[in-house]
Structure 1
Amino acid sequence: MHTGQPPLLVFDLDGTLVDTAADLMATLNALLVREGHRPLPFSAVGSLVGQGARVMLERGLRANGVEVEEAVLARLFDDFLEHYSANIAAESRPFPGVLDAMDRFAAAGWRMAVCTNKMESLSRRLIGELGLTDRFHAICGGDTFTVRKPDPAHLIGTIAAAGGDPQRSVMIGDSRADILAARNAGVPVVAVTFGYSDVPVADFTPDRIIDDFAALWEAVHGVVGTGAPVSVAAIRQSPAAGPARD
């Protein structure tokens, strides 16, 4: 990676940086039960999370065989945001190892940013509640721009907001939307296996796949061409997908 602007790591939020599933599902199920519908099992989180609260609510209702009018959906969406905002960090915590990994990159001169389909206000509230705000040069949500992931402009806009350069950036995510946004933006992407995708991330051919943030350093340096070794621990090969793409 050439010299110039500081290199940048861009993290997805839900399912990548922070384990938010318990609080999101608690809010969704509270509303579903209140409206007379059945709560959804925690195992359904992969098919619900990733495109923001409104889509999560729509999918939760659809799983109950319910299609509501726009006015009703708007009311429920407001209720979802109110309940979730009040309980945003009840159970949500950074994934194991992510803070240590970020410390290592920061010490080496890397900047950090967040690019998420979660609303910016909720993203900032969550990151603030967890005491992480000062770690990021930009926090861009699903409503920060006129587009959101998988549109590459969401990622490009986040990189610009952080004072970065797409040619000196790496995306870290857990979903198809993250991988497609990065791929279409021409940005290398490292996928985590412990997020909320309901399809194995290997199916979307990210540049590297990691099972643990301890492997992030080598995985990132394996895709930015610094010559750092990329160990077996840093790349989890998927039999179904073949070798990770270089």
Structure 2
Amino acid sequence: MSRQVIVFDLDGTLIHSAPDLHAAANVALRAAGREDVSLAQVISFIGNGVGMLVERALKATGPWTAELQDGTLAAFMAFYEQNTTTLTAPYAGVTECLEELQAAGVVMGICTNKPQTPAREICEALGLSRFFGEICGARSDLARKPDPEPLLQTIRALDGDPSRTLYVGDSAVDYRTAQNAAVPFRLFSGGYLNHPLPNLGPDQIFDTWADAGFQRALTGLV
């Protein structure tokens, strides 16, 4: 029998990273001569990778050009790579949940649209790396979610099977990724989702990692 596998999204699912992304976005926008954007705006920009986050921030504050995008993205990354965990932390209950899942023998990984190097560095800095056999982030040689390939590649790296895997995320991008990969999905509603998703029952949604029974429920779903 294949291994029990749970794959998680990162931003807005395991960690509250929006404050650091917000700070980086405003540093980059100021360098481009633009006004700041709010934290709520940045949260609405999260989910499709930092390139799209920067594009959305630029379009929210004025005209967009490819040249402006390149310079602003470079400024964003230069600041963010030095400040990935200044304001970022795991959500309450995440570490305890991961500990219980690991103790139950569940194999875990991360599949995120965050660039791979910062994703791995953040997990290491926050003490989360020890839980994951694979951390798959955005790379130039790999399609991005909601394309199913990043999730399927993560599952293969964990020696898992999609039919015995659960994907846990917080956004429409994560939901579509799971659908495209034919992998069961659970939604963390305490993250960065900005509108309800269709076709999700209450048993597919949870709002806190601190729910004492949630860890045990997860182990029964894969």
Q: TM-score, normalised by structure 2?
A: 0.92
Unaligned 5+ runs, structure 1: 225-246
Match of 1:181 in 2: 177
Taking the TM superposition and a 5 Å limit, the aligned residue runs for 1:225-244 are none
Flag the 1:145–1:176 CA change in 2: closer, same or farther, 3 A: farther
Match of 1:237 in 2: none
**SS at structure 2 position matched to 1:139:** strand
Match of 2:166 in 1: 170
Deviation at 1:75, TM superposition (A): 2.2
Equivalent position amino acid for 1:203 in 2: P
Match of 2:126 among 130, 139, 143: 130
Deviation at 1:197, TM superposition (A): 1.8
Query: Cα deviation per residue 1:26-75 (whole Å; 9 max; x = unaligned)?
Result: 1001111232211111111332111111110000000012212x233222
Given that residues 85 and 125 in structure 2 are in contact (C-alpha distance below 8 angstroms), is that contact kept between their aligned partners in structure 1?
yes
Given that residues 190 and 220 in structure 1 are in contact (C-alpha distance below 8 angstroms), is that contact kept between their aligned partners in structure 2?
no
Query: Cα deviation per residue 1:171-201 (whole Å; 9 max; x = unaligned)?
Result: 010011111111221211110111112213x
Aligned length: 219
Match of 1:150 among 146, 153, 163: 146
Is 1:44 matched up with 2:41?
Answer: yes
Deviation at 1:6, TM superposition (A): 2.4
Distance 1:181 1:128 in 2: 25
Given that residues 208 and 219 in structure 1 are in contact (C-alpha distance below 8 angstroms), is that contact kept between their aligned partners in structure 2?
no
Match of 1:205 in 2: 200
Match of 1:7 in 2: 4
Is 1:96 matched up with 2:95?
Answer: no
**Larger relative contact order (Cα-Cα within 8 Å, sequence gap ≥ 6):** 2
Unaligned 5+ runs, structure 2: none
Is 1:28 matched up with 2:52?
Answer: no
Is 1:77 matched up with 2:73?
Answer: yes
Deviation at 1:130, TM superposition (A): 1.1
Match of 1:63 in 2: 60
**SS at structure 2 position matched to 1:10:** strand
Match of 1:216 among 192, 214, 217: 214
Given that residues 49 and 56 in structure 1 are in contact (C-alpha distance below 8 angstroms), is that contact kept between their aligned partners in structure 2?
yes
Distance 2:88 2:159 in 1: 28
Given that residues 166 and 186 in structure 2 are in contact (C-alpha distance below 8 angstroms), is that contact kept between their aligned partners in structure 1?
yes
Given that residues 16 and 90 in structure 2 are in contact (C-alpha distance below 8 angstroms), is that contact kept between their aligned partners in structure 1?
yes
Identity of counterpart residues, as a percentage?
35
Deviation at 1:19, TM superposition (A): 0.6
Given that residues 34 and 62 in structure 2 are in contact (C-alpha distance below 8 angstroms), is that contact kept between their aligned partners in structure 1?
no
Deviation at 1:161, TM superposition (A): 1.2
Query: Cα deviation per residue 1:89-137 (whole Å; 9 max; x = unaligned)?
Result: 0010011111111111111100110000011111011111112212110
Match of 1:241 in 2: none
Equivalent position amino acid for 1:62 in 2: K
Equivalent position amino acid for 2:57 in 1: G
RMSD: 1.8
